[in-house]
Structure 1
């Protein structure tokens, strides 16, 4: 392996001067974790040992530079401006060679005055006072580029490279990670950067402010002894708080940087100093417990880092949905981070805001669900207290090693200050097909502010759209529609349907079951129960199809779903009733409009006739007070409907909550009636087309066969008319034809069947 590493990897990838050092370390470690990651991804829930592998994702170099230049770089530009530097942001960034710095939008006079007031204290800011934290540092990629930017700043202030390097490691850079191997790599990378500028660095006592999160095994008795050891330094209340915090490190390999220190940084610093070396006069010897001074020193070091606030916080946080979390982690985030509990990356967004000083900057790259989904609405409200300065909306393929259309990313920079009317800058790169194409598109926008995919908008506009999504590309007209229109929920009831919990057991395609045993026309659950039937049509969503179709499945709902309900209670004994899974039964079998929950392409709505039960993947909307569903179906299927929904939720999962928010403006009754008529015509065309193929249970005849048969019958009918005029004799050439003809005397009836009259 070493031979291949030396011979196959280009020399430049190891060259510190050519920025290869951290790249090679990071990529090697990510691929080192590849096999355990693949195994873990197949699990329904992750084990504690899976967390390091599944949450390690090496950040592309250009995104690291974007995050650091637009946070740390922007902060220093603020410092220079308060000192009286008259150069523009763009000119200063170019002087440092920051290619990925995006100048802020032009602000109103009022906003400019607020910014001047907020930044007024920066004129005396010293470089040694600017702290930079990555709370999920991995192998240190972000920290190393921050080192390079700090080096530029120090040298611009007249420091020598050696002085600057030592100050950066001692004063400026801080990092934490849950994975000990990743921490060791980051430590190595930072020390090598220091060694680059100070050849005696490894023989000196310079220690990077980095740490992994230790996992301890502390018993309650040990905690009591521990607090007695610090009786002179902690009050009774402080000792109790300290006990609770230290005990969290029993789950250090699960909670990582999310542990909340309760004591302030000053007290923790004192505890760390006393734990660094065991004093001879210590009240207690930790050799007799499961806890020692060395471990205590690591714990207090981490707590000291977490108790501070930082000028700049930048990270690529771990991604982990709540459904995949270990029970311990899930319980913790629900209690400590209730507004962001849906995903670990969102929890780190909240953490970054908490660790950031007032008027500082924090920057992250995350999945983009938090921008739109209702499960993150409370988080969006909380983040609205910050200024969203810049966002690169990356979409899919932001990471070359992640394929498919599911993982969609966004990178952003926030200022920890409240300026409601601030105009943010947004670069929309979702259509760029690859990581390289996205980088090229972004760099083009930095040069050309008139790009059609570069947006400048006041973030107060987001609050005018239901759910406050980060819909930066919304036009003024559409925002007005949301302000004056009524939500669709006032006219229709979007509902989520049945989850069988075992589709293989309860679902079939309709042609797999004896046709007479399927009941197609039930109007209610009562009628279905009285019919005694076992199988009923089932709406499971399905592929893209407008107006009508996807009548594929049937469900075993015999005796009002008795077997399904029994299985639900058996699988989920904590449920008192099966209603949580077998939900909205009052809407079963009703006329509705439906859409597929998962939509990879354009959004589409279909009409659903009376007689079906609906699924969680085939959600439905039902008429309220006689409202015409065809009108709303036509609206949702229009370009305007799809456009409005793209702001409410541009992800691949379209939920009932999203449909409820579509603005409805009815100003002209004839227009509404015309739209409904057109929708009904389209539905009729869609139904005729669906029923003309064997996939439909209403199938009669394939359209191609229909044309062939029609032509054949016309010919036969013509021959019949000719034969009827011929006096057939034994020797006549039509003798055989006439004999054959008299055997099929029902042909005239067939002519009538095909609408050919009485011929």
Structure 2
């Protein structure tokens, strides 16, 4: 409660800061306002949950952690290209397409011309505040109008037959219910006094229902067993929600009749029979909804990988191949809720398209479903989430149609810019960021990334070229367990205690040195450099090898030690500045961020280094994995043609590039090989006023710059 002020504060901000159209019922304003207000209502608990370090998300925190309001134009794209497209394929003379602003340009495969609009079922099984369902309501109204229904009749039939929703958050469910009722009220002034209600439901745990309830029921044993089965399925339903699998058909109509006919004792209800019966009747609505098949399943699923024990075990048991994140579970679950040739639409992080942990999901989709269309957004476009986003539509069909893809990664400026560019592509399909391709091409690339922009020539290179791991040996390295304890920058320790030139493990063992060069990746740099760190590898890494947690579990991980101290080519795990690769001379230990590839052939390393540092290297890696983490598996998948392997001319140019880059690196005091500052390197010897090897400062660095610019030398 607060005293309202129209001159400053929240009311003034609402009036002045939000366009009037956002409140306009005709422009979806009421839904936008409800959705955004609820998201920002949850902002503080959302931030608290998603920023926990290493912990899992508790059941009560899942709604706050996973609810993100879906931008309006993305909702329209998803509905237009699933529900809208399904209808158009079955109504040859329909004018609906002229009203679907975000229907992508694509040829329609006509199926039939006799679709009864009352038979179309649409569900959002993570509905939030109902934004998707409300827009679907409007699209359905246009379908009903085409088939001759009045607005009043159509609005009631839509709630009765067409729209369904599921949610784990009771408050969000209430908002969705309210929004749909207001939408019905828009077309039918008597909607609020009718007996028709939206078929949207909220999950309830059944942990409160025990055997005492069933012992008092005057029903058959088979019915009791069916009810117990449902109770067991939904024991943790506020945690599991829509991904619950119903393994055997449940006759909901029969059970509803049984529960409705249970005598209601008006005396003292010790077993709470009356309330539990009502709860089970509500649960039967959910069971029936989950057993249906749908023409369109449309949702912005929850993004969650910090699963609690109950959720994690369920996902591993029922969705093992798709268990990397909750959104990937929804992707597979939802497409299998559709009828044959039905559509499932999503907005999700785009990592499923590329990285290895989603490879099983990709292959399942590519082998049995169809990617009908997809829009890949610019990396940071969706400010509400800390992940890059895509939106796409799958068809429950294994036909060989080409998919339509829009690549918006070059257009920065947020979701408004992404919307404008999408509409431009719809208006002019010849833009260079709209692609049409057959998804069978993706299987030609190792890992089957959804690389829809790959040219025919590059696809052929993947088919005939050798994979990188057949030419060199990429290996992950040391994980100390505590870098602050075991790593130092080289100038932070005594220069005399560093072993700079160990060629193999045996030299490190026999050495009396404590510190050894450590390849930790580093910033964007080509050819040579990033010699910054040293690691405590005294006595063959004894301290690191014995480093454990208080419970005795090993904390450090010593991977591939037989590759330590060998020459290599190396790149950084984090590639936010673009891909760059460097030559690393013998003498270093590499870690998990300083990704490295080895070969007994120096010339082969040089040739591969030259290939990878061309624009082709960055182009291919952005195709294999456009995230900022370039893994060993991505490197392994790079195709190499024979003519790029043994080429003396390339070798000579690469060797020269490495030498230039090394000279640049060693020109500054941050290099342990620093000898002379570039500014004084070309001064004739007879004009130099220092003698012998320069002194070193407290950081063990030759003090030439201090000598050169000292007060004594200004005369």
Shared fold (TM-score, shorter chain, > 0.5): yes
Match of 1:660 among 611, 627, 636: 636
Which of the numbers 243, 251, 258 marks the counterpart of 2:243? 258
Per-residue deviation at 1:626? 6.9
Is 1:331 aligned with 2:316?
Answer: no
Is 2:572 aligned against 1:596? yes
Q: Give me the whole-angstrom Cα distance separating, in 2, the residues matched to 1:716 and 1:588.
A: 42
CA drift of 1:278 comes to: 3.8
Q: What's 1:418 paired with?
A: 398
Conserved 8 A contact 1:105-1:423:
no
Which of 706, 724, 740 in structure 1 is aligned with 2:681?
Answer: 706
| Residue matched to 2:153 | 163
In the alignment, the residues of structure 1 paired with residue 134 and residue 143 of structure 2 have an alpha-carbon distance, to the nearest angstrom, of 14
Deviation digits for residues 551-571 of structure 1 (CA, Å, limit 9, x no counterpart): 111112233333333334656
Are 1:93 and 2:97 counterparts?
A: yes
CA contact (8 A) 2:122 2:164 kept: yes
User: C-alpha offsets along residues 647-669 of structure 1, whole Å, 9 cap, x if unaligned?
Assistant: 21121110000100111111377
Counterpart CA distance in 2 for 1:214 and 1:716 is 84
Q: How many angstroms apart in 1 are the aligned matches of 2:218 and 2:518?
A: 66
Offset at residue 500 of structure 1 (A): 1.7
Deviation at 1:636, TM superposition (A): 0.8
Distance 1:680 1:24 in 2: 61
Secondary structure of the equivalent of 2:535?
strand
What is the correspondence of 1:98-117 to structure 2 with a 5 Å cutoff?
A: 98-105=100-107, 115=109
- 2:24 is aligned with 1:15: yes
Contact 2:607 2:644 in 1 (8 A): no
Match of 2:119 among 116, 124, 129: 129
In 2, the alpha carbon distance for the partners of 1:468 and 1:286 equals 59
Please give the alpha-carbon distance, in whole angstroms, between the structure 1 residues aligned to 2:580 and 2:229.
Answer: 52
* CA shift for structure 1 position 60: 0.8
> How far did residue 277 of structure 1 move?
6.5
Aligned mates of 1:216, 1:155 — CA distance in 2: 42
Q: State the 1:195 CA deviation.
A: 1.5
Match of 1:473 among 437, 453, 458: 453
The equivalent of 2:700 in structure 1 is: none
Give the CA deviation at 1:606: 0.7
Give the superposition deviation at 1:291: 7.7
Which of the numbers 87, 93, 105 marks the counterpart of 1:76?
87
Contact 1:245 1:260 in 2 (8 A): no
**Distance 1:16-1:530 versus aligned 2 partners, 3 A rule:** same
Counterpart position of 1:439: 419
1:449-460 correspondence to structure 2 within 5 Å: 449-460=429-440
Which residue of the other structure, out of 126, 132, 142, is the alignment partner of 2:132? 142
Question: Residues 716 and 131 of structure 1: is their aligned pair in 2 closer, same or farther, counting only changes over 3 Å?
Answer: closer
TM-fit CA distance, 1:248: 4.3
Q: CA deviation at 1:48?
A: 2.7
- Aligned-partner Cα distance in 2 for 1:612–1:252: 53
C-alpha contact (below 8 Å) 2:168/2:238 kept by paired residues: yes
Distance (whole Å) between structure 2 residues aligned to residue 230 and residue 473 of structure 1: 64
Higher alpha-carbon deviation: 210-219 or 547-556: 210-219
> Residue 300 of structure 1 corresponds to which residue in structure 2?
284
The Cα of 1:253 is off from its aligned counterpart by 2.4
Residue in 2 aligned with 1:396?
379
Residue 213 of structure 2 contacts residue 271 of structure 2 at CA under 8 Å; is this kept in 1? no
CA separation of 1:218 and 1:627: change in aligned 2, threshold 3 A: farther
Provide the rounded CA distance (Å) in 1 between the counterparts of 2:215 and 2:420. Answer: 57
For residue 245 of structure 1, report the CA deviation from its aligned partner: 5.1
- Once residues 226 and 157 of structure 1 are traced to their aligned partners in structure 2, the CA distance between those partners, rounded to angstroms, is 48
| Cα offset, 1:130, TM superposition | 0.4
Deviation at 1:92, TM superposition (A): 4.7
> Which residue is 2:707 aligned to?
none
Q: Which has the larger radius of gyration?
A: 1
**Paired residue secondary structure (1:366):** strand
1:26 is aligned to 2:30:
no
C-alpha deviation, 1:532, in angstroms: 4.1
Residues 1:347 and 2:352 are matched in the alignment:
no
Match of 1:463 in 2: 443
Question: SS at 1:628's partner residue?
Answer: helix
| d(CA) in 2 for partners of 1:621, 1:50 | 43
SS at match of 2:322: coil
Q: Secondary structure at the match of 1:703?
A: coil
Consecutive unaligned residues of structure 1, counting only runs of 5 or more, are: 107-114, 718-743, 748-752, 754-759
1:519–1:396: structure 2 CA closer, same or farther, 3 Å change rule? Answer: same
Kindly indicate whether the alpha-carbon contact (under 8 Å) linking 2:91 and 2:114 is maintained by their aligned counterparts in 1. Answer: no
Check if 1:199 corresponds to 2:189: yes
Please name the residue that 1:318 is paired with: 302
Deviation for aligned residue 1:230: 8.7
Instruction: Provide Cα deviations, 1:567-620, integer angstroms capped at 9, x if missing partner.
Output: 3465673x6xx78x3222221111111111111122110111112111111111
1:430 offset after TM fit, Å?
1.0
SS in structure 2 of the partner of residue 214 of structure 1? coil
The alpha carbon displacement at 1:354 in A equals 1.7
**Greater share of helix residues, 1 or 2?**
1
Task: For 1:612 and 1:291, locate their aligned partners in 2 and report how far apart those are by CA, in whole Å.
Answer: 70
> Contact 2:80 / 2:100 at 8 angstroms: preserved in 1?
yes
The offset of 1:52, in angstroms, is 1.1
Cα distance in 2 between the residues matched to 1:486 and 1:145: 50
Q: Distance in 1 between matches of 2:206 and 2:145?
A: 42
Mark the runs of 5 or more structure 2 residues left unpaired by the alignment. 694-703, 705-715
Residue 407 of structure 1 deviates from its aligned partner by: 1.7
Which of 652, 676, 683 is matched with 2:658 structurally?
Answer: 683
Q: Distance in 1 between matches of 2:61 and 2:132?
A: 23
Cα displacement (A) at 1:194: 1.2
Change (3 A) 1:258 1:592: same
Describe the shift of the 1:304–1:517 C-alpha distance in structure 2 as closer, same or farther (beyond 3 A). same
Aligned residues: 680
Of residues 347, 357, 363, the one that matches 2:345 is 363
Provide the C-alpha distance between the structure 2 equivalents of 1:233 and 1:208, rounded to a whole number of angstroms.
Answer: 33
1:593–1:633 CA contact under 8 A, matched in 2: yes
Aligned partner (choices 539, 544, 548) of residue 559 of structure 1: 539
In 2, Cα distance between the equivalents of 1:257 and 1:41?
21
Task: Check 1:595–1:196 CA distance in 2 against 1; reply closer, same or farther (3 A cut).
Answer: same
* 1-structure distance, mates of 2:362, 2:31: 34
2:370 is equivalent to residue 387 of structure 1: yes
Deviations 1:429-488 (A, max 9, x none): 111112111111111111111101111111111111111111000001000100101101
* Segment of structure 1 superposing worse, 19-28 or 209-218: 209-218
Could you tell me how far apart the structure 1 residues matched to 2:218 and 2:402 are? 51
State which of 524, 533, 537 in structure 2 corresponds to 1:544.
524
Structure 1 pair 286–553 and aligned structure 2 pair: CA distance change class (3 A): farther
Q: Distance in 1 between matches of 2:275 and 2:470?
A: 62
Q: Would the alpha carbon gap of residues 524 and 571 (structure 1) be closer, same or farther in structure 2, given more than 3 Å must change?
A: farther
Q: How does 1:497-516 map to 2 (within 5 A)?
A: 497-516=477-496
Aligned to 1:756: none
Number of the residue aligned with 2:701: none
Moved more, 29-38 or 393-402: 393-402
What SS class does the counterpart of residue 452 from structure 1 fall into?
coil
Partner secondary structure for residue 124 of structure 1: coil
CA shift, 1:313, in A, is 0.3
Question: What TM-score results when the alignment is normalised by the length of structure 2?
Answer: 0.89
CA distance in 1, matches of 2:606, 2:405: 37
What per-residue deviation string (whole Å, max 9, x for no partner) do you get for residues 361-388 of structure 1? 1110111111111111110111111111
